Amino acid sequence: MAIASASPSAAYATAPAALHVEHLSVKYEDRLVLDAVSFEVESGALVGIIGPNGAGKTTLLKAILGLTPASGSVLVSGRALRQRSRRVAYVPQINAVNWRFPATVLDVVVMGRTGVLGWLRWPGKRDRELAHAALEQVHMDHLAQRSIADLSGGQQQRVFLARALAQEPDILLLDEPISGVDVPTQEVILHLLRDLSATGKTLLLTTHHLQHLEHHFDALLCLNHRLIAYGPPSKVMTPAVVEATFGRSLVLSPSSEQIILECGHHDL
């Protein structure tokens, strides 16, 4: 039935995985949100995390980061997360951010250096150079002096991506980076993420947009409190896996392969 693999390319791995997650579990009071989730991600991979609302997608990212109490282990390039925490950056959902605070785009991106510098050191010339370079990577440097509150949702998302890049991470964890923006902006952001993976960055992102999964991701991680399946999209997105992940609320229509065309009326 469902495919469950520690790594979609484990047979070819010769070095420690960029990210190794082993039996990661999270319980809120008496409710098990994540149940012994295990997987590996190789360097430079772009991985989409999909599943219904309440499946534990955001919790998985926060547990990997150590932002929520969890059991299990997380290794970054073969070492404990606490030894590599600065090499992992997080991009939260934009609707979880108060965009009314008075700051320029450049100010927000420079804030990404705080975790590297510590709270007692002020950003210097190199930090601002890194911030400008990060803005250039996401094609936003021309708006460096604009107020963050004046930007569109897609522009704000790219600024927060630049903020994470200013941290100089090896791994980026992104929570719904293409939600709340129009389709052309979704494509811009997904292409930016693909370009970053081509430079060797490892990216994991949650999404409930199920169109064109095969075109954008190296692997999909199907989650519904437990790991349902993990592997290349063409292998993972079968009717059996989709039903195990989402129930019967999705409409499938096969063309050359099994492709998800639309959702039912449930909010995913």
pLDDT on residue 267? 36
Report yes or no: 37 and 209 within 8 Å, Cβ to Cβ: no
* Cα 225 to Cα 245: distance, rounded to the nearest angstrom: 9
In a domain, 108, yes or no: no
Identify the pLDDT of residue 5.
54
The three-state secondary structure class of 39 is strand
pLDDT of residue 22: 96
Q: Tokens 């890049």 sit at which residue?
A: 165
- Residue 233: the pLDDT is 92
d(CA 160, CA 176): 12
User: How crowded is residue 126: how many other Cβ atoms within 10 Å of its Cβ?
Assistant: 9
Which residue segment(s) compose the domain that 181 sits in? 10-97+169-263
- Sites in the chain below the pLDDT cut of 70: 1-14, 96, 98-99, 115-122, 248-268
* Residue 193: alpha-carbon gap to chain centroid: 10
What does the alpha-carbon distance between residue 224 and residue 227 come to, in Å, rounded to a whole number? 7
Residue 119 domain-assigned (yes or no): no
Q: Is residue 201 part of a domain?
A: yes
Domain CATH code at residue 250: 3.40.50.300
| pTM (2 d.p.) | 0.84
Helix axes 153-165, 125-137, angle to 10 degrees: 130
* Domain-located, residue 198: yes
Among candidates 134, 229, 217, which has minimal Cα distance to 178?
A: 217
The model's pLDDT over 218-241, given as tens digits with 9 standing for 90+, comes to 999 999 999 999 999 989 988 899
Domain contains 148: no
Q: Is residue 183 part of a domain?
A: yes
Contact 103, 159 (CB under 8 A): no
Q: Is 222 left (phi over 0), alpha (psi -120 to 50) or beta?
A: beta
- The answer to whether residue 191 sits within a structural domain is yes
Residue 143 lies in a domain: no
pLDDT at 112: 84
Taking Cα atoms as reference points, which of 188, 216, 186, 184 lies closest to residue 203?
216
Based on the structure, what is the number of domains in the chain?
1
**For position 124, what pLDDT does the model report?**
75
- Cβ(117)–Cβ(123) under 8 Å? yes
Q: What does the pLDDT read at residue 30?
A: 84
Tokens of 221: 């991680």
